[in-house]
């Protein structure tokens, strides 16, 4: 007997419904399985391959003290997280300013009055801190309105005939101790972040010094400066030493370590010649190498420093030294001190751009001129095409420090031909005035340096045309000190003749993407 049709229909519908339910359960189970598998995979990845490279959960479980053992490292101590390189990531500091820098100037009471003019060029009593460290009490009243306050260094006579160098080497430590003795609980004075050493004839450019030191974490141990320009000086002393006359900077942690170690170092290295050599030797014992900054200048050369200054590296000018031992750097005065004043005045308008080069080419009927600007100092006009890779090399207007030879130096040089070959000599222009321009820029003017009457004249058409140029006027935007925290790049410029050819205008600007400076 066949079942009723309605019963067959119900049973068929139930079978269909049951099949659909099984399918849904299988889909849910598969989804849950995939989710669980993905979660387990993620946890395994985090455990075995963490972002910080510490070795993961498994490595922590298996050997908490073995981190870095495969590389031969010691297990970390409790102080490492506070003083290690990752500490800077956790700290947030305001930008370094002049108030964070403590200057220590080494000087003699007998020669201070003759050399103090160099310190008066750059010292600002209201915004700077530090001392001139003398060997004895000064004879004449101290010019506190224009100079740093002075202190008399502790007695160093136990070092015998090397007492002077040992006294100077202790200035870093003495400056550190002076800060803590003068202001043990002073919270109003900004913290000391850097200790900067120099000689009584060192000329600092303060804004550029700040810009240079801002690149580094002052909570780490840093020793910043530059070796000598002379190979023979570096061979005699050290390529890894900051020459003290050019100045050098020591961060607070490094100064703190030096303060505790310096006396022992002075005993161990009493045979060394200079104070800077003693400081470097002690920092070497502490494991702190020299961080080189090309803006510090010992000026270990003889003769005329013009060529070196006119082709400064793409870096801020931080210091100049030995100005009494070279020819005046400009025709602005008869003394070395007067000759450097225009450079210091220019730095007050645009310190970051000081001595920075810019190259351009002026084309006319039948000629091409090459123009090299060292802002705030000089302009060179070559009545022929000179490629940028040559213009950035200093003209050798100087000789070596010790032997008065033509080299070697730590940088390349190119020859400056004599006056008997006038067709291969550039015309030179020196800064005559600088002022603020419109739009936040500057306008600087450079006057042609007259040649002596005995100099021959070149008869080429390009030289005759160039001889009519008496003034170079340079328009430039002001540089931000923050640019020195980026990759260095020389700026570009355009040139134009005006006023019947007697004035050459140069407009410095930021280079466009992919722009070439081509003769």
Is position 200 within any domain? yes
Query: Of 241, 259, 292, at which residue does a domain stop?
Result: 292
Is position 514 within any domain? no
**Same domain for 275 and 178:** yes
Nearest CA among 443, 490, 508 for reference residue 471: 443
Residue 435: pLDDT band (50, 70, 90) is: very high
Average pLDDT of 419-448? 93
Does the pLDDT value for residue 10 go beyond 90?
no
pLDDT digits over 358-414, tens only?
Answer: 999 999 888 899 999 999 999 999 999 999 999 999 999 999 999 999 999 999 999
pLDDT digits over 337-348, tens only?
Answer: 999 999 999 999
Is residue 72 classed exposed, middle or buried when 0-12, 13-18 and 19+ CB atoms within 10 A define those classes? exposed
Average pLDDT of 77-99? 58
In terms of DSSP bridges, do strands 441-448 and 471-477 run parallel, antiparallel, or are they unpaired? antiparallel
**Same domain for 288 and 371:** no
Beta partners for residue 358, in sequence order: 373, 491
In terms of DSSP bridges, do strands 194-199 and 101-106 run parallel, antiparallel, or are they unpaired? parallel
Is position 448 within any domain? yes
Specify the DSSP class assigned to residue 141: P
**Same domain for 282 and 381:** no
**Same domain for 274 and 186:** yes
**Same domain for 249 and 144:** yes
Is position 74 within any domain? no
Two tokens at 119? 């310190």
Average pLDDT of 290-296? 98
Q: State how far the Cα of 288 lies from the Cα of 254, in Å rounded to an integer.
A: 8
Which pLDDT does position 84 carry in this prediction?
41
Q: State how far the Cα of 205 lies from the Cα of 346, in Å rounded to an integer.
A: 11
Q: State how far the Cα of 276 lies from the Cα of 298, in Å rounded to an integer.
A: 12
Is position 472 within any domain? yes
Q: State how far the Cα of 199 lies from the Cα of 210, in Å rounded to an integer.
A: 18
* Domain hosting residue 457, numbered range: 351-509
Average pLDDT of 100-105? 98
Residue 101: pLDDT band (50, 70, 90) is: very high
**Same domain for 382 and 492:** yes
Is position 55 within any domain? no
More confident position, 10 or 491: 491
Contact between 504 and 380 (Cβ < 8 Å): no
Contact between 218 and 192 (Cβ < 8 Å): no
Is position 4 within any domain? no
Q: What is the 3-state secondary structure (H, E, C) of 43-96?
A: HHHHHHCCCCCCCHHHHHHHCCCCCCHHHCCCCCCCCHHHHCCCHHHHCCCCCC
pLDDT digits over 134-159, tens only?
Answer: 999 999 999 999 999 999 999 999 88
pLDDT digits over 54-76, tens only?
Answer: 444 434 333 444 444 333 343 44
Query: How far from each other are the two terminal CA atoms of the chain, in whole angstroms?
Result: 111
Task: Give the Cβ contact number of residue 348 at 10 Å.
Answer: 12
More confident position, 182 or 216: 216
**Same domain for 137 and 242:** yes
**Same domain for 371 and 275:** no
- Split into its structural domains, the chain has a count of 2
- Mean pLDDT, the chain, integer: 87
**Same domain for 130 and 270:** yes
Q: Output the pTM of the full model.
A: 0.82
Which pLDDT does position 61 carry in this prediction?
37
Q: State how far the Cα of 444 lies from the Cα of 457, in Å rounded to an integer.
A: 28
Which pLDDT does position 6 carry in this prediction?
43
More confident position, 184 or 448: 448
Widest Cα–Cα separation across the chain: 141
Does the pLDDT value for residue 217 go beyond 90?
yes
Does the pLDDT value for residue 19 go beyond 70?
no
Does the pLDDT value for residue 94 go beyond 70?
yes
Q: State how far the Cα of 490 lies from the Cα of 454, in Å rounded to an integer.
A: 37
Q: State how far the Cα of 353 lies from the Cα of 211, in Å rounded to an integer.
A: 12
Domain holding 267: CATH number?
3.90.550.50
Q: What length does the chain have?
A: 519
Query: Of 292, 308, 343, at which residue does a domain stop?
Result: 292
pLDDT digits over 249-272, tens only?
Answer: 999 999 999 999 999 999 999 999
**Same domain for 359 and 264:** no
Query: Of 255, 270, 292, at which residue does a domain stop?
Result: 292
Is position 193 within any domain? yes
**Same domain for 376 and 253:** no
**Same domain for 283 and 368:** no
Nearest CA among 267, 195, 269, 278 for reference residue 241: 278
């Amino acid at each position: 007997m066949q079942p009723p049709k309605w019963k067959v229909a119900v049973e068929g519908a139930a079978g269909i419904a049951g099949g659909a339910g099984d399918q849904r359960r299988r889909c849910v189970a598969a989804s849950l399985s995939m989710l669980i598998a993905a979660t387990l995979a993620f946890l395994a990845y985090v455990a075995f391959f963490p972002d910080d490279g510490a070795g993961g959960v498994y490595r922590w479980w298996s050997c908490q003290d073995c981190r870095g053992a495969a590389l031969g490292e010691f297990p970390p101590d409790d102080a490492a997280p506070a003083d290690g390189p990752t500490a800077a990531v956790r700290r947030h500091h305001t930008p370094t300013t002049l108030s964070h820098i403590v200057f220590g100037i080494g000087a003699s009471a007998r020669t201070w009055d003759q050399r103090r003019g160099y310190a008066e060029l750059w010292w600002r009593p209201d915004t700077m801190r530090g001392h001139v460290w003398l060997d004895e009490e000064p004879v004449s009243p101290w010019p506190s309105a224009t100079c740093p306050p002075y202190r008399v260094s502790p007695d160093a006579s136990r070092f015998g005939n090397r007492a002077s160098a040992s006294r100077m080497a202790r200035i870093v430590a003495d400056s550190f101790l002076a800060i803590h003795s003068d202001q043990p609980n002073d919270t109003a004075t900004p913290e000391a972040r850097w200790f900067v050493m120099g000689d009584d004839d060192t000329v600092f450019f303060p804004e550029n010094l700040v810009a240079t030191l801002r690149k580094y974490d002052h909570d780490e141990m840093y020793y910043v400066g530059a070796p000598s320009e002379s190979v023979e000086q570096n061979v005699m002393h050290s390529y890894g030493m900051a020459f003290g006359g050019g100045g050098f900077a020591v961060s607070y942690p490094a100064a703190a370590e030096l303060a505790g170690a310096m006396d022992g170092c002075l005993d161990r290295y009493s045979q060394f010649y200079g104070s800077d050599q003693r400081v470097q030797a002690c920092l070497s014992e502490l494991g702190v190498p020299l961080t080189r900054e090309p803006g510090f200048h010992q000026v270990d050369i003889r003769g005329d420093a013009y060529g070196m200054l006119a082709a400064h590296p793409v870096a801020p000018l931080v210091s100049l030294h030995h100005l009494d031992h070279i020819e005046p750097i400009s025709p602005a005065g008869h003394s070395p001190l007067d000759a450097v004043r225009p450079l210091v005045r220019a730095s007050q308008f645009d310190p970051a751009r000081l001595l920075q080069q810019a190259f351009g080419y002026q084309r006319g009927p039948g000629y091409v001129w090459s123009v090299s600007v060292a802002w705030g100092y000089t302009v060179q006009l070559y009545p022929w095409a000179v490629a940028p890779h040559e213009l950035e090399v200093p003209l050798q207007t100087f000789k070596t420090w010790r032997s008065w030879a033509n080299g070697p130096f730590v940088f390349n040089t190119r020859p400056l031909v004599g006056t008997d070959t006038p067709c291969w000599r550039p015309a030179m222009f020196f800064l005559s005035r600088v002022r603020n321009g419109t739009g936040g820029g500057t306008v600087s003017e450079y006057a042609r340096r007259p040649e002596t009457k005995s100099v021959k004249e070149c008869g080429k058409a390009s030289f005759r045309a160039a001889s009519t140029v008496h003034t170079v006027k340079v328009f430039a935007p002001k540089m931000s000190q923050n640019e020195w925290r980026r990759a260095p790049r020389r700026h570009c410029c355009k040139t134009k003749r005006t006023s019947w050819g007697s004035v050459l205008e140069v407009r410095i600007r930021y280079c466009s993407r992919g722009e070439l400076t081509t003769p």
